[in-house]
Amino acid sequence: MTTAVDTGLYQRVQQFYAVQMRLLDEGRAEEWADTFTEDGEFGQDRRPAPRQGRAEIGGRLRKAADALAARGVVRRHWLGMLAVEPQPDGTVTTRYYALVIETPAGGQSALHLSTAADDVLVPDGDTFLVRRRYVVHDGWTP
């Protein structure tokens, strides 16, 4: 792996996440779902089974976004401490931390969640699709 390749890759991944999380935070469920592969998988330590496929991933966001909107809450996902590793099969694995910041209408912003995640990304032109995401929630106990 050369530095030139790395460099472009790292910043493209950063830009991808900025765009993807904006879709999530704006409740744009269909566009969000389309940032996963057709058979994309979204797992979390605090849920028994992963969400599978775009329909389920998008549908879940639709419900969550509607509930937040009804409560007048703005939610923002911050990713950071990103490590990017190109794989021999052409996929790209990433590890990062993510925070969720919530703000109620007329109220005070607060840290809602601290998490860490692992993704498998598939290159898609200049951007990526998520094949698999697994999120660990700090403080969660079964």
Q: In the sheet that 36-44 helps form, which strands lie side by side, from edge to edge?
A: 51-52, 36-44, 127-137, 110-124, 92-104, 73-86
How much is the CA Rg of the chain, to the nearest whole Å?
15
- When binding is defined by CB under 8 A, the residue of 8, 30, 63, 69 that contacts its own copies is 8
> CA of 106: how far to CAs of 52, 71, 73, 109, 111, in Å?
36, 12, 10, 10, 16
Q: Is 7 in the site for its own copies (CB under 8 A)?
A: yes
Residue 26 vs 39, nearer CB to its own copies: 26
Q: Is 116 in the site for its own copies (CB under 8 A)?
A: yes
Q: Is 87 in the site for its own copies (CB under 8 A)?
A: no
Residues 101, 116 contacting (CB under 8 angstroms)? no
Q: Extract the tokens encoding 87.
A: 């794989």
Three-state secondary-structure class, residue 91: coil
Residue 24 vs 41, nearer CB to its own copies: 24
- When binding is defined by CB under 8 A, the residue of 14, 44, 52, 91 that contacts its own copies is 14
Q: Is 18 in the site for its own copies (CB under 8 A)?
A: yes
> CA of 45: how far to CAs of 50, 97, 135, in Å?
9, 15, 6
- When binding is defined by CB under 8 A, the residue of 6, 38, 39, 66 that contacts its own copies is 6
Residues 35-54 that bind its own copies (CB under 8 A): none
The site for its own copies (CB under 8 A) is made up of 3-4, 6-8, 10-12, 14-15, 17-19, 21-22, 74, 76-84, 95-97, 99, 101, 103-114, 116, 126, 138-141
